[in-house]
Chains A and B, each alone.
Chain A
């Protein structure tokens, strides 16, 4: 009976079969269970200890959030898998057709290269989602222990990891399409990842432009999502980068086009992608999905700050590695930017650590300028920053109305997690994988 399915659907089916025939994918599926197990079991134990297990009267986890205590550590397993396992799965799927000669056959179908790459990307993404099953099991176990879950912040973590995987897939697809050899592609992808780590390191030491660029590395993006903050600009930038990577991959699988032309077109596409990423930085809309509203000032302060019109300029004389600078940035200024998009912050320092600048006049000062008035405050706490701004704006600090986040301490042992994640999951994957691979041989 003639098949009426469209060629693209046929291609997706073929890619799915190729994924199932990929040992790299089965290895990733096998390993992700124990990886999640180590992370989750360790997280539950530490959470329990901090919540008072082992004799401490009240523990230190009175304000403990499952986001920090359970989800972020558990999902570290996926960071590792996305860095060290997923690229090999993606490279295998993209480069395999070229190596076997199948690409020469498939390219003779008048389907667009982007459609071909999208079929591969879709299947890889689906394969990654299946690798998320151990995390789902961990979530179910957590609920069975009586743990609290705040869906928006958990969704933020999941979306962050999905975008991160998308970036990995796009990068691996692009490199696998360009490189002649899969092993070269693997080295290049890992080099890129290491490069982003170095960039992050330089950014933390030097600040400035490196800090701006480092905001768009997969690690930085993921970090934001993992802490319950969803920034429209960051999410759009991630999507642009994914589209750019897949676009470059699509350009390079066209074996019938000269390498020079493909290189020029890729350069143009990357330039457009970079411009769009820069444009994304101008989208300031963001959502604080964390249960404890860690990225927001108290409601009353949010409302009061939103009423301040004129541009607020802040000049902080603090070196990138000065702990006061990260205090000021993370506890006050990042929240301030969300509620007052017009705020302009400038960091000034002569060195990266600031150790030998302490004696310099002006070092450690934070200057605020609003409506022609200027004042200085050396304190870097949230309260001090708010007080200074209210003072400049001639406003009375609002009264606190809301109740502080109480936290969800839980003293529970990770019962059953080891059996499921160290035993059942790997056994299931190994058995199922063996059957599928044997059927194909």
Chain B
């Protein structure tokens, strides 16, 4: 198994977000159950889980666009007294905001409204190949084009932590690779990325650390090596061959 834990000296990276006891129910359905984990400065943290695991609910509760029933979200590393909106920005999946407006306008609106990273504008537009979409209406874009436009909006925001729901959803292989490179480049600038990904193998290759979510519960948190170690302690599991097996063992 490819060990990616060396990329991240995580014990020395300061914790910027701590989540504790987060719970959310929809009627009798438990979407999140006592979820706890932390996000470290500058890492790419993957939220891994099957469809219906509660990933989107977790992101929305974290970002404050959906109320949680219980739980606490606290900030560190100099953001102790900051408001949630000053630390986190959440980019939902499957939305088509301002469908009648062109992409270029939407990006400028993001820059102006959220006081975004104007210095990164050209680079982001170039890396995500947004220029050909500039004059197109957001509502008229294909799924992949819309995803790229949304990613560009998210990358322009100034908050230190960016939550992206399914960043590779709707992208073809080439676009996925380019997007992965762009996200890695963005993280190298110091931005912390928290990505929800349901394709376990993709996540295993891309993220520094992981939070495994299944049935609304966090089943594990750590680097691939740490999770593999955790999985080895489970009954019937000896040496997981890859990250998928780790995931299956823990969830």
Query: Which residues of chain A have a CB within 8 Å of any CB of chain B?
Result: 2-3, 5, 7, 10-11, 14, 17-18, 21, 97, 100-102, 104-110, 255-258, 261, 440-441
Contacts and interface: CB of A to CB of B under 8 A. Distances in A.
Nearest to B92: A104
A347 B65 CA distance: 54
Given A101-B95, A440-B102, A258 B67 contact: yes
Interface majority SS (helix, strand, loop, mixed), chain B? mixed
B240 to A, nearest CB: 37
A99 B92 CA distance: 13
A391 B211 CA distance: 90
B95 A109 contact: no
Contact of A7 (B64, B92, B99, B113): B113
Interface in B119-165: 137, 139-140, 153
Given A3-B111, A10-B112, A255-B65, A102 B100 contact: no
A21 B85 contact: no
Contacts of A14: 98, 109, 113
A18 to B, nearest CB: 7
Contact of B100 (A7, A21, A101, A256): A21
B37 interface: no
Interface string B82-96: 010110111110111
8 contacts: A10-B113, A14-B113, A21-B100, A100-B96, A107-B65, A109-B113, A109-B114, A441-B137
A5 B112 contact: yes
Interface of B: 60, 63-67, 83, 85-86, 88-92, 94-102, 105, 109, 111-115, 118, 137, 139-140, 153
A257 B67 contact: yes
B102 A100 contact: no
B65 A104 contact: yes
A108 B111 CA distance: 14
Contacts of A256: 63-67
B130 to A, nearest CB: 17
Given A3-B112, A109-B113, A100 B95 contact: yes
B150 to A, nearest CB: 9
A107 B84 CA distance: 11
A3 B99 CA distance: 23
Contacts, number: 83
A429 B82 CA distance: 49
B160 to A, nearest CB: 14
Contacts of B112: 3, 5, 7, 10
B96 A108 contact: no
Contacts of B113: 7, 10-11, 14, 106, 109
**Max count, chain B CB within 10 A of own CB: residue among A97, A105, A109, A256:** A105
Given A7-B112, A256-B66, 13 more contacts: A3-B112, A10-B113, A14-B98, A18-B98, A21-B100, A21-B101, A100-B98, A101-B96, A102-B98, A104-B92, A107-B65, A108-B85, A108-B114
A274 B91 CA distance: 40
A102 B97 contact: yes
**Max count, chain A CB within 10 A of own CB: residue among B64, B92, B100, B109:** B100
Contact of B85 (A104, A109, A258, A440): A109
Contacts of A106: 113
B172 to A, nearest CB: 23
Given A11-B113, A17-B105, A109-B113, A102 B89 contact: no
A283 B105 CA distance: 49
Nearest to A23: B100
Contacts of B89: 108
Contacts of B102: 440
Nearest to B153: A105
Give me the 4 closest cross-chain CB pairs, A-B, nearest first: A101-B95, A102-B97, A21-B100, A256-B64
A8 to B, nearest CB: 10
A231 B241 CA distance: 81
A255 B102 CA distance: 26
A62 to B, nearest CB: 55
